[in-house]
């Protein structure tokens, strides 16, 4: 059947299962927008193209499907770059379609012309410039296949305006992906399995490092079977949270810069690390030269370029984690590592007296209290989309994620402004789920224009702004490492309650711990979106903290005296290099 290039775009998207697309129209993509009206795909009009990519990303992470975004050429396309880079760093499958000036005008500096394939080359898994209608169907099919297969990631398809306007025969079957040079389904060699099994079955202090790859491959069942049979405790990366239930007795919690002290110490004392779908990010390892020196290391990873990239391993197994564990599990023997597990549990004892949750209600409102109460009153069942900063780490520490895909956050790129638009995408992916945004006052203001999108789409999202009047994490670094010289971190914010009112959204302000429960419960009961402005303690810090580049066990801990008396602590109380 004959179709214009613009119609072909939608014919393909419908067949790829796209039900919602996030975008912003403009001149070079207008033919495609005009054709959109004849197809059953819901278009969400964003307020900035960065928001469209974060929404597609949030949709992908919440659903496990490919997210889709669309924009025009020039600034429309370049506005997408931050969202594309965010998806790239966290291996999130999205397809971005952009309009381009007519093919004959390319290179002439035409109005709103940008070489977006050149711009996005380093931050896409693959990208295309399409100048003929005949190539659109094949390209879009390839884009979806590449985005979702192997190590997932973003793909951009840039289509010239004349390609959208011209016509050709549309043949879906004939456009099936043919990529002989693309081999995403690599498999490990049998001798690598045997090497791994020898290490696993002889380990005395083994530890699983559980990453995002568990979620991406759907390997929760296999990882739990492995851990329970061999009695191996599990440490989580930030993006791995929720992959294994937080309430599982072998789940130790988060590792790394702001991970639990006992987790980091266990890593340093382990004799075998099993890295499952994680990439040894610098926020996880600290100083590479002193990282887990006593441990043999097995790395199971779908992307061969990650093996030995940051940490040299003893056995590197390339392949899909779920399939690899299915092959490995028959050789894993039952084991008793109770002595090792008891030792880790003993290391937890010291943390309890440092925990901010132990503080009595002194009239101060702490972010940890807010996060913990949101977890408690949502019964841990919400999808929480956190932004980037201190609140992101408190969310990871105090919201206990039992369910898969219940935490969505920008881990690799650390994109402030991610949470609000990504939550919109998550809500479209899971309309029956309770969706919460946890954002700081700084990050929220980066993309708060998307409140208009929420209002226009009549969405129900609960937004918790952890408002401390600072760019909190930067302030914390200035406090710890720059002698409290707070350069450009105190932040004046708008009245968020009045802002909510401007968008016809309910707004609530909370200044006391005793008011948190009422606010959370009112927000959950309210049929529409609610913005909660939590005015928290301004100069609280995230503990523990491994300074950038420091040894993993060299953690800055919350002073014990601070926990017991709340006030009076000074830097001399910091427990550098503590073993607990």
CA-to-CA distance for 144 and 367, rounded, in angstroms?
40
Helices (H), strands (E): how many in the chain?
Answer: 24, 20
Beta carbons of 273 and 297 less than 8 angstroms apart: yes
Q: Residue 94 forms beta bridges with which residues?
A: 67
Among residues 19, 112, 503, 580, the one annotated as catalytic is 112
The DSSP code sequence of 207-258 is EEEE-THHHHHT-HHHHHHHHHHHT--EEE-TTTTTSS-TTSTTEEEE-STT
Q: What are the phi and psi torsion angles at 5 (to 5°)?
A: -60, -40
DSSP H or E segment with residue 343: helix 338-354
Please enumerate, as own/partner, the contacts of 555-561 that have beta carbons within 8 Å and a separation of 24 or more: 555/261, 555/264, 556/480, 557/261, 557/354, 558/354, 558/355, 558/356, 559/354, 560/353, 560/354
Residue 83, both tokens = 């969202």
Task: Please say if 404 is a catalytic residue.
Answer: no
Q: State the alpha helices, DSSP H only, in 355-471.
A: 367-377, 390-398, 419-429, 441-447, 451-457
Beta-carbon count within 10 A of 443 CB: 29
Beta-carbon count within 10 A of 145 CB: 18
Among residues 104, 111, 169, 228, the one annotated as catalytic is 111
| Residues belonging to the chain | 580
Task: Please say if 268 is a catalytic residue.
Answer: no
CA-to-CA distance for 234 and 255, rounded, in angstroms?
10
Beta carbons of 71 and 24 less than 8 angstroms apart: yes
Q: Residue 416's closest CA among 466, 480, 485, 478? A: 466
Among residues 16, 125, 161, 296, the one annotated as catalytic is 161
Task: Please say if 49 is a catalytic residue.
Answer: yes
Residue 155, both tokens = 């793909």
Task: Please say if 456 is a catalytic residue.
Answer: no
Q: Residue 530 forms beta bridges with which residues?
A: 462, 506
For residues 324, 329, 332, 338, the Cα torsion angle rounded to the nearest 10 degrees is 100
Among residues 11, 16, 49, 450, the one annotated as catalytic is 49
Tell me which residue has tokens 């708008």. 494
Q: Residue 120's closest CA among 137, 95, 138, 90? A: 95
Cα–Cα distances in Å, from 313 out to 301, 320, 487?
A: 12, 18, 41
CA-to-CA distance for 347 and 205, rounded, in angstroms?
15
Task: Please say if 161 is a catalytic residue.
Answer: yes
Among residues 80, 88, 254, 473, the one annotated as catalytic is 473
Segments of 73-218 assigned E as strands: 94-100, 126-130, 155-160, 167-169, 206-210
**Which residues are CB-neighbours of 199 under 8 A, at least 6 positions away?**
272, 296, 298, 314, 315
Catalytic positions are: 49, 111-112, 161, 473
């Amino acid at each position: 059947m004959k179709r214009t290039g613009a119609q072909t775009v939608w014919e393909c998207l419908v067949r790829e299962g796209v039900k919602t697309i996030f975008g912003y129209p403009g001149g070079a993509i207008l033919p495609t927008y005009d054709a959109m009206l004849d197809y059953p795909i819901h278009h969400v009009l964003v307020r900035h193209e960065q928001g469209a990519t974060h929404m597609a990303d949030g949709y992908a992470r919440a659903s496990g499907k490919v997210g889709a975004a669309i924009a025009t050429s020039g600034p429309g396309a370049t506005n997408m770059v931050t969202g594309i880079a965010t998806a790239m760093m966290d291996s999130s499958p999205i397809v971005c379609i952009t309009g381009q000036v007519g093919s004959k005008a390319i290179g002439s500096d035409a109005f709103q012309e940008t070489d977006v394939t050149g711009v996005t080359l380093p931050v896409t898994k693959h990208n295309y410039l399409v100048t003929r209608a005949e190539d659109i169907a094949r390209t879009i099919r390839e884009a979806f296949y590449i985005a979702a297969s192997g190590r997932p990631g973003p793909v951009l398809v840039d289509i010239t305006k004349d390609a959208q306007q011209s016509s050709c025969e549309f043949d879906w079957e004939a456009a099936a992906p043919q990529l002989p040079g693309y081999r995403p389904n690599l498999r490990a060699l049998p001798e690598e399995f045997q090497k791994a099994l020898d290490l696993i079955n002889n380990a005395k202090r083994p530890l699983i490092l559980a990453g995002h790859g568990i979620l991406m491959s759907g390997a929760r069942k296999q990882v739990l079977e492995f851990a329970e049979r061999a009695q191996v405790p599990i440490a989580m990366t930030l993006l791995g949270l929720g992959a294994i239930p937080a309430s599982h007795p072998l789940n130790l919690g988060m590792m790394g810069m702001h991970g639990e002290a006992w987790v980091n110490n266990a890593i340093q004392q382990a004799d075998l690390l099993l890295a499952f779908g994680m990439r040894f990010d610098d926020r996880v390892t600290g100083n590479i030269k002193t990282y887990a020196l006593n441990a043999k290391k097995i790395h199971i990873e779908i992307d061969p370029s990650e093996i030995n990239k940051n940490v040299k391993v003893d056995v590197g197994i390339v392949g899909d984690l779920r399939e690899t564990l299915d092959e490995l599990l028959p050789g894993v023997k039952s084991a008793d590592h109770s002595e090792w597990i008891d030792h880790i549990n003993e290391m937890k004892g010291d943390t309890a007296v440092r925990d901010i949750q132990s503080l009595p209600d002194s009239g101060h409102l702490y972010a940890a209290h807010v996060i913990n109460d949101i977890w408690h009153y949502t019964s841990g069942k919400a999808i929480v989309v956190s932004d980037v900063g201190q609140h992101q780490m408190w969310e990871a520490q105090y919201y206990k994620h039992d369910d898969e895909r219940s935490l969505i956050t920008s881990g690799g790129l650390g994109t402030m402004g991610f949470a609000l638009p990504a939550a919109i995408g998550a809500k479209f992916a899971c309309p029956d789920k309770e969706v919460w945004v946890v954002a700081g006052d700084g990050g929220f203001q980066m993309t708060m224009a998307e409140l208009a999108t929420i209002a226009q789409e009549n969405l129900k999202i609960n937004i918790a702004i952890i408002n401390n009047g600072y760019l909190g994490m930067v302030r914390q670094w200035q406090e710890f490492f720059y002698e409290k010289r707070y350069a450009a971190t105190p932040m004046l914010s708008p009245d968020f309650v009045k802002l909510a009112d401007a968008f016809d959204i309910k707004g609530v302000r909370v200044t006391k711990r005793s008011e948190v429960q009422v606010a959370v419960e009112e927000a959950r009961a309210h049929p529409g979106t609610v913005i909660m402005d939590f005015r928290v303690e301004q100069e609280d810090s995230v503990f523990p903290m491994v300074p950038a580049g420091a040894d993993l066990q060299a953690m800055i801990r919350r002073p014990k005296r601070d926990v017991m008396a709340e006030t009076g602590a000074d830097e001399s109380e910091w427990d550098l290099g503590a073993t607990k």
